[in-house]
Amino acid sequence: MTTLTRIGLAGLAVMGQNLALNIAENGFSISVYNRTTSKVDETIERAKAEGNLPVYGFHDPESFVHSIQKPRVIIMLVKAGAPVDQTIKTLSVYMEKGDCIIDGGNEWYENTERREKQMTDLGLLYLGMGVSGGEEGARHGPSMMPGGAFEAYKYIEDILLKVAAQVPDSGPVLHILAKEDQATSLRWFIMGLNMVICS
């Protein structure tokens, strides 16, 4: 691979894998990484089978980070709590000032605020972004709620506007909030609403 990708995604469980394929299907090249390397290989096989999508897999974090164009943007979709901190630690050592990490999981807002401060101290940008809609939503159009530095959001606005669920006559289901506590509250509300609708 000689051309750098537009964005990266770390964490290839159900949500991460499907969101990566969604991003690629919408015309954005994407690098993917997972601690369990078999998930990387599985994602690449799916990308080939679903239309030879521009998904590029990496088995080590350094190669993964360096495969992304600057300023680098990496979405994490890993289990909330300690795994998020570990993933940040693993990736951030290879990142540079102005790069951005986005937590796409369902994390408590106080943890996100703590991490945002830590990233700011390192010269990195950080966003909390709920991704709602389950496996099908992630693959074909989730509801997304980014909260944090607006500068970080602008890095990926073009991607999110295409990847998000589209409502006829209303556009993408994308709720942008500056305060992470507001974003988290809305995220949990929408998740609860989705469960009621689907039950």
Tens digit of pLDDT at every position of the chain (199 positions): 668 999 999 999 999 999 999 999 999 999 999 999 999 999 999 999 999 999 999 999 999 999 999 999 999 999 988 899 999 999 999 999 999 999 987 766 777 778 888 888 889 998 888 888 889 989 999 988 887 788 888 999 999 999 998 888 778 887 666 554 444 444 544 554 454 444 4
Whether 25 is covered by a domain: the verdict is yes
Q: Both tokens of residue 46?
A: 């799916």
The closest of 29, 14, 124 to 77, measured between CA atoms, is 14
Whether 143 is covered by a domain: the verdict is yes
Supply the pLDDT for residue 121. 86
Question: How many structural domains comprise the chain?
Answer: 1
Supply the pLDDT for residue 108. 66
Q: Can you tell me the distance from the alpha carbon of 22 to that of 143, in angstroms, rounded to the nearest whole number?
A: 13
Whether 43 is covered by a domain: the verdict is yes
Supply the pLDDT for residue 179. 52
The closest of 92, 97, 109 to 147, measured between CA atoms, is 109
Whether 109 is covered by a domain: the verdict is yes
CATH of residue 172's domain is: 3.40.50.720
Supply the pLDDT for residue 96. 97
DSSP symbol at 4: P
Q: Can you tell me the distance from the alpha carbon of 158 to that of 142, in angstroms, rounded to the nearest whole number?
A: 15
Instruction: Give the SS3 label for residue 96.
Output: coil
Supply the pLDDT for residue 177. 63
- The range of the structural domain enclosing residue 143 comes to 7-198
Whether 47 is covered by a domain: the verdict is yes
Whether 1 is covered by a domain: the verdict is no
Supply the pLDDT for residue 183. 46
The model's pTM is 0.85
Whether 162 is covered by a domain: the verdict is yes
Whether 2 is covered by a domain: the verdict is no
